[in-house]
Structure 1
Amino acid sequence: MGNWLPWLSGACPSTVYSVPVQKLDEYIQTSLRPTADCQRQIDEAVDTICAALQEATEPPTVTDVAKGGSYGRKTVLKGNSDGTLVIFISDFEKFQDQKEKQYEILDKIWERLRAGQLERKLTAKMEMQRSYVGLTIRLSTRWQSVTFDVLPAFDALDLSGKPSPSTYRDLKRALDQTKANPGEFSVCFTKLQEDFFNNHPRKLKDLILLVKAWHQQCQKQWGEQSLPPSYALELLTVYAWEEGCREEDFDIVQGLRTVLELIQQQEQLCVYWTVNYNFEDETVRNVMLNQIRSSRTVILDPTDPTNMMSNDEKCWRLLKVEAQNWLLSLSLRGSPGPSWNVLPAPLHETPGHLLDKFIKDFLQPTKTVNIQIKTAVDIIAKFLKEICFRHSATKVQKPIKAGSSGKGTALRTGSDADLVVFVDSLTSFPSQKAERYNIIKEIKHQLDAHQQQVTDQDVEVTFEISKWEAPRVLSFSLKSKTLNGSVDFDVLPAFNALEKLGPLWKVYTQLIAQYEQHSDTPGGEFSACFTELQRDFVSSRPTKLKDLLRLVKHWYKQCERRLKKKGSLPPKYALELLTIYAWEQGSGDTSFDTAQGFRTVLELVTRYQQLCVFWTVNYNFENETVRNFLLKQLQRPRPVILDPADPTGDVGGGNRWCWHRLANEAAEWLSSSLCFKDGTGGPVPSWKVPTVQTPGSCGTGFGPVINEMFSYRSRGILD
């Protein structure tokens, strides 16, 4: 056949690390993607070879030819690349035939191609090589070459081009009978592999090219040391995009950082899809569970559950070192924009009995994260109390840690540090509304001045531009020498109503009076005043319920990312309250089945048009003013979910938010996610939870009377 062509010019520079981030898109197009003319010549040559193989009349009869490898996935690198030509033979009636007769078939294909004088018809130069282990065809143009492995195969797909559970049962049986290596028959599913990649946008293929070029460079550097196959990195890149972006046009740098960060977490990677096979069939389920329970790293071929890309710890450790090097390189270290928030394993594909492990491994904050948040809060709290208003008559009474970090439900990534600041100049609800913005401006001004005065740049603050003319919150990112990275803050000035106004009934009557006197005041306008009650309502809950809250919030964030351009979703706090309600009504145990709780919450979301949920732990029906206000609130359009700390705050919001979009997501998850399957593949039941909370069930002494009033009002009998 002659010598293989040397590495062709223009494929890759000496190092991808040296490419400036702002030039990556251009670098991919000019240095990594084959030219259109070269690609056309290769394509025409491949089509000619495939036609010749299928048109031959002598045996073996070729029923079809599938294009696989980088060529079939359309991830060919400029210069030298790879592909497969999978030849489906009519005589192969089962997987075992492929194992027994492949070398005999290859000899005949070799003779057929040699005798056909194809070289004269091809738009690219063809060179063939036959060895004991296989047959290769190299097609080359001036600037491009693709080396194809020719592989005879059994066509395992039915007439629709899809596999069935019986297909994979037969696959498992064939592996056992022939003692073949796992994944040895994956070529039979090449058309599925091609379809899987064709369903993804071109720009994702560009990101794959960048990752593959880096992988190729790493392999060259490590020489004989084995690295994970490039196909594993292609799949990992697809996973990162699906979980973190799903946009056709995205920031290449963000995608690259995400892939490299996932490689750094290789000890936890468990990536697989259920687009072609799933857990419903017992045989397939056992194969999949055996794979995903094996030592990490786990990346499964989406077309063949027996085909584990590589779980060799040593080869992934080598790649982890290289990923770290690139992330710390000058070109990426200062790149703008965060990576996508992608976990090493997908929630959607996590069986119900593994949800507790999922939460522990990926959602619970680490000790380092907790220390980071506490340190950041201490820095800002000290600034607010001792520095911010030192030249002003205004004084900070106390800053209160709010949000998820204050409630003990923070996620490992993506949770902010929220602070509510009670200042003595805010002496009433009206004064908070009137003066809040001036306090926010003063805090921003003093923070800005403070970081200018600090000579060692210990504090660096980046402010977020608000879309509101007079925002009720100051948002900024804090960097400090004492922090590993940055922490996002929301600071809200508030009137200290709980201490200034006395008993709770008096606080709430004045709050309600404020709303009745000013009908244009939106519900929940003064919820920051009740931060401590909100915090205590959640923080006192059992640890496992807080973990369920984390799981629901993680699910919500995934939905939010998918639906962000389709309308405003209900606030995350509504989902937190709904989760607590589901647990109170459906379980109440400190130890419960997480999958059952998760399923119950999503089912309640699908029934949002019936929801009426509230609590009487801080306010109730005993005071006439509060009672009348509550009964009006409970007649609002569904869903109604009242803030247990603030009766004016209906976070259900009726038609205010796009509950229907969240409900559609919940319904899809309920029908397709493995989260709601147990270890045997059976369905996980939900708790029996009513969609409407009646006043009498809240433990008030007015139960029977109020339930009757509530019933009448709900039916429109009472005004």
Structure 2
Amino acid sequence: MAGPGRFSQPWCMDSSSLETWYNENIQRGTEDFDRDCKRAINEVVLSVQSICKSGGLRFNVDRIVKGGSLGKGTMVKDLSDVDLIAFINPPDLDSILTLGLSEYKRKLAAVIENLYTALKRLPSVSAVSKNEFLVIFNIRVGSRCMSIDFLPTSSKCAGPGRAYFPLSSPAHHSDMFLAMLYLNDIKDRVFYSGSLAEHQVNFVGSQPGYVKELVRLVKYWANDYLPEKLKKSYRLELITIHLWEKAGKPVKFSKAQGLKNVLEVLTKLTALRVTSWPGSNQIYTEMAQKAITRFGMQNPIVLDPIEPTDNVCQLYQQGTNGIEIASAAEQTLQTPLLKYVTVHQGWKK
């Protein structure tokens, strides 16, 4: 890819100016956008809950959780995605392990159809559509039209809302991991993994603010340098968090060094292998090893810290994706911003 050009900010700047540029161009604008976005999303959530209480929805909602970058606290103005996760109570939608895949799909289809009909009635949303997994709609936040993915899933599979590791998740998650490990059709994984989405949000959302700032900078880079198919942020978030942990979890560090470390790793994807996370328990470790063997996983491997059978970097192995992301990272490393930056242990300033 050509990238944004050598003379666009912050890539044309000296690394000593990055912190000031970040505060003025990402932090400040994002805070306002984040507030406005939450307000718009809350209106939709309250409307759906109101329809539910009045009997307008033919199912019972336990709760609705904000996902995507908004829920994680890694939103970047005008670049980020928003998901909503609706946890549906039995008997309208029971655990996929209890119902079986076919019956779960049937019941989920009825929930999605009902949710689709309800959302079409709301004046604050537009362009409502649906597929077998979720409902999609647009809302306006300031001058921007944002697309929202609304994912219904069973509350019975969700586990504790604040937990994000299998260590603190209910035992039946190990049964879910096994079911996902031996799926005949890998595309059906989405029906199982939906109930784990809140844990993924909490994992990233629980990271310190200064780590999220680096994540936002990496996402800004991805928007400038990567094609649309490679901009999805979760895998980049995990890679950034992993490298921060590998650097010793520094509290104060140079954003330029952190960014350069991430990009250097992206130029050498075949060396990237993350098969465990701090806090992972024996169940996670055993499932991870089974998944690596069963699926014949090759580097780059970054196993989802919530779902040990899922290599989030599989996308980088498809077609020319790995070459494209490595080329974009290499190009950025040659910009004035990063060319003369030295990455020290702990990313020390």
Normalised-by-shorter TM-score class: 0.7 to 0.9
After superposition, the C-alpha distances for 1:528-577 in whole angstroms (9 at most, x for unaligned) are 312232122222222221111011001111223xx34xxx4374211111
Aligned residue number for residue 488 of structure 1 = 147
1:351 Cα deviation from its structure 2 partner: 1.9
C-alpha contact (below 8 Å) 2:78/2:144 kept by paired residues = no
Residues 418 and 490 in structure 1, CA contact (< 8 A), matched pair in contact too: yes
Q: Give the corresponding residue for 1:620.
A: 281
What CA distance in whole angstroms lies between the structure 2 residues aligned with 1:551 and 1:615?
Answer: 25
CA contact (8 A) 1:494 1:528 kept: yes
> Aligned partners of 2:152, 2:230: CA distance in 1, in Å?
25
- Give the CA deviation at 1:377: 1.6
Whether the 8 Å CA contact 1:620–1:627 is kept in 2: the answer is no
- Residue 346 (1) aligns with residue 12 (2): no
Partner of 2:26: 363
2:323 is aligned with 1:660 = yes
Aligned partners of 2:71 and 2:270: how far apart in 1? 31
State yes or no: 1:506 paired with 2:171: yes
**Code of the aligned partner of 1:405:** L
**Structure number with larger C-alpha Rg:** 1
Partner of 2:67: 402
Residue by residue, what CA displacement relative to the aligned partner does 1:252-311 show, whole Å, maximum 9, x if unpaired?
Answer: xxxxxxxxxxxxxxxxxxxx83xxxxxxxxxxxxxxxxxxxxxxxxxxxxxxxxxxxxxx
Q: Which amino acid aligns with 2:265?
A: L
Structure 1 position 616, deviation (Å) = 3.8
User: Structure 1 residues 420, 617: CA separation in 2 closer, same or farther (over 3 Å shift)?
Assistant: farther
How far residue 471 of structure 1 moved from its aligned partner, in angstroms, is 4.1
Q: Give the letter aligned to residue 558 of structure 1.
A: D
Structure 1 gap ranges (5+):
1-241, 247-271, 274-344, 452-458, 678-682, 690-719
| Letter paired with 1:438 | A
* 1:484/1:684 CA distance change after superposition, 3 Å: closer
Partner of 1:649: 310
| Offset, 1:589 | 0.9
Matched residues in 2 for 1:487 and 1:624: separation?
Answer: 38
Aligned partner of 1:676 among 331, 338, 349: 338
What's the counterpart of residue 335 of structure 1?
none
Note closer, same or farther for the CA distance 1:633–1:516 as it changes in structure 2 (3 Å cut): closer
Q: Secondary structure at the match of 1:397?
A: strand
* Distance change in 2, residues 1:687/1:575 (3 Å): farther
Aligned with 2:282: secondary structure?
A: coil
2:250 alignment partner in structure 1: 589
Q: 1:428 aligns with which of 83, 95, 100?
A: 95
Cα distance in structure 2, aligned partners of 1:520 and 1:643: 19
Q: Is the 8 A contact 1:612 1:634 kept in 2?
A: no
In structure 2, what is the equivalent of residue 449 of structure 1?
A: 121
Distance 2:265 2:329 in 1: 9
Q: 1:367 to 1:434 in 2, by over 3 A?
A: same
RMSD of aligned alpha carbons? 3.1
Where do residues 537-556 of structure 1 align in structure 2 (5 Å cutoff)? 537-556=203-222
Q: CA–CA distance in 2 between the matches of 1:352 and 1:523?
A: 45
CA drift of 1:620 comes to 2.9
Map 1:456-475 onto structure 2 (within 5 A).
459-463=124-128, 470-475=131-136
Task: Tell whether the 8 Å contact from 2:30 to 2:75 is kept in structure 1 after alignment.
Answer: no
| Map of 2:342 onto structure 1 | 685
- Give a deviation string over 1:505-527, Cα, whole Å, max 9, x none: 62332112322453213485233
Match of 2:271 in 1: 610
CA distance in 2: counterparts of 1:506 and 1:440, whole angstroms: 28
Deviation at residue 370 of structure 1 after TM alignment: 2.4
CA-CA distance at 1:607 after TM superposition: 0.9
- Which amino acid in the other structure matches residue 158 of structure 2? L
- Output the CA distance in 1 between the equivalents of 2:288 and 2:140: 47
Inter-partner Cα distance in structure 2 for 1:594 and 1:422: 37
CA contact (8 A) 2:159 2:169 kept: no
Aligned counterparts, 1:202-601, within 5 A: 243=4, 273=7, 346-364=9-27, 365-388=29-52, 390-424=55-89, 425-429=92-96, 430=101, 432-451=104-123, 459-463=124-128, 470-479=131-140, 486-496=145-155, 497-499=157-159, 504=169, 506-522=171-187, 525=190, 526-560=192-226, 563-564=227-228, 568-569=229-230, 571-601=232-262
Could you tell me whether the CA contact under 8 Å between 2:287 and 2:309 is conserved in 1? no
Distance in 1, matches of 2:12 and 2:186, equals: 44
Displacement after TM superposition at 1:387 (Å)? 0.7
Q: Are residues 547 and 576 of structure 1, via their aligned partners in 2, closer, same or farther at CA, if it must alter by over 3 Å? A: same
8 Å CA contact retained: 2:48, 2:118: no
Amino acid at match of 2:300: P
CA distance in 1, matches of 2:209, 2:56: 43
Taking structure 2 as the reference length, what is the TM-score of the superposition? Answer: 0.82
Residue 428 of structure 1 aligns to which amino acid in structure 2?
A: S
Q: Counterparts of 1:55-74 in structure 2 under 5 Å?
A: none
Return closer, same or farther for 1:639/1:367 CA change in 2, 3 Å cut-off.
closer
Q: Is the 8 A contact 1:523 1:650 kept in 2?
A: no
Structure 1, 608-617 or 593-602: larger mean CA deviation? 608-617
Residue 163 of structure 2 is matched in structure 1 by: none
Matched residue pairs, number? 326
Q: Which has the higher contact order (CA 8 A, sep 6+)?
A: 2
Paired residues of 2:223 and 2:231 also in contact (CA < 8 A): no
Q: Deviations over 1:420-474 (max 9, x none)?
A: 11111221233554443432332221121343xxxxxxx24233x67xxx34232
If the length of structure 1 is used for normalisation, what is the TM-score?
A: 0.42
CA contact (8 A) 1:376 1:487 kept: no
TM-aligned CA deviation for residue 396 of structure 1: 0.8
Where 2:337 maps in the other structure, the secondary structure is helix
State how far apart, in whole Å, the 2-side matches of 1:395 and 1:579 are: 38
CA contact (8 A) 1:402 1:420 kept: yes
Q: Among the aligned pairs, what percent are the same residue?
A: 23
Maintained 8 Å contact 2:73/2:205? yes
